[in-house]
Amino acid sequence: MNVVNLSAYRFVALDDLPALRERVLERASALALKGTVLLAPEGINLFLAGPREAVDAFMAWLRGDARFAGLGAKESLSEAVPFGRLRVRLKKEIITMRMPAIRPEGGRAPAVDAPTLKRWLDAGCDDDGREVVLLDTRNDYETDVGRFAQAVDYRLASFTAFPDAVAADRARYAGKTVVSYCTGGIRCEKAALHMQELGIEHVRQLEGGILKYLELTDGAHWQGDCFVFDGRGAVGADLRPSGERA
C-alpha cells in the first residue's frame, strides 16, 4: 500500500481566507494531491491522499505558517487514492455545530490521549477512580459501522443535533468522567467545550479521535470498523480499508 491518507485539523483564527485558499490549492495541486481542505474563520480541516513524498512535502509547507506549526495528523495507508479530485473550500465552520458561542480557537477543552484512555478502560475507571463514560459525537450511520463498547450514542442525524441531545441528558454524567470521541477529533473538541458550557464537570475529548486511538493502541474496546468520509468507506482496527482486508 503506497498511498498515504492524511487527516488533520486545527482550530485557529484565520482572517486571510481567500488568499490562503489560493495558496493551499496551488501547493496541493502542484504535488498532485487529492482530497478536501476546508478553511473557515475558526481554522482548517483537511483530508488528503497521495504518495508519501508528496504528503510530507505538503505538510512541511503548511507547517511553515506559524498558525499551523506543530499541526498533528492521522495517517493510514491504502492501495488507491480514495478521492476523485482536489477541493479547497471556504466555509463558515470547519465542522458545523451552529453554536457561535463555542470558539475552540480561543482555547481547548481538556484532552485524554489514546494510551491513557485505553488504560482507563482496562481499569474500569480514570486515575481519580471515577467511572468513565464514552460519548460518541458522530452521526448514526457512522456509529452503525463501529463504536466503542458501551458508548453513549444519541443516534444523531447531524452534529447540529448534538447540543440539544446532551443538554437533555446532563444528569447521566454527574460525578463521572465523560470522554467525547469522533473520527479524527474535530467534532469531539467542539462537543467537549459545549459540555463544559453546560456545567458538566469532568469532561475530556479523545485526542486525535478514533483514528489516533487505533494508531496508538491495539484497538482494545473498539468494536467494528471506523467510517471514513472517502472512497474507502471504512477502515478496520488495523487502519486498513475494510474492502482490502482478506
Catalytic residues, by residue number, are 182
- Tell how strand 152-153 and strand 132-136 pair up: parallel
- Here the cell at position 211 is 483514528
d(CA 167, CA 57): 43
- The amino acid at residue 156 is L
Question: Which among 223, 244, 236, 245 has a CA at the least distance from the CA of 82?
Answer: 244
Sign of the dihedral through C-alpha 4, 86, 28, 39: negative
Among 63, 77, 64, residue whose Cα is nearest residue 1: 77
Looking at residue 130, the DSSP 8-state letter turns out to be: P
Give the H/E segment covering residue 152. Answer: strand 152-153
